[in-house]
Amino acid sequence: MLNLVRADALPTTPEARSLMRKVMVLLEESTEQITDPDRSGEILPLATALNRLIVSTREQILDDAVAASPVPDRPEM
């Protein structure tokens, strides 16, 4: 999650910001499930869903950063 917060300094699109908000909401809503030892069987599916969302967000942020970067001045590369 810290990487997503730091990634906020990168140029992002509304899609990336929306994904970041979804990650934060999911994490906030699932904190009780994660910390409750009686619900330990629910952690794996929750962690998997959270991980997928974080990966999607990171990929979107990277795509946004690449799209916003200047075109190289060496066309042969």
Give residue 7's pLDDT: 52
Average pLDDT of the residues in 45-68: 84
Cα–Cα distance for residue pair 56/15, rounded to 1 Å? 11
What are the structural domain ranges in the chain?
16-34+41-64
Share of the chain above pLDDT 70, in %: 79
What rounded mean pLDDT belongs to the chain? 77
Looking at per-residue pLDDT, the higher value among 77 and 1 belongs to 77
Give me the pLDDT at residue 3, please: 56
The pTM assigned to this predicted structure is 0.63
- Joined tokens for residue 19: 């994904």
Output the six-digit token pair for 10.
Answer: 């990168």
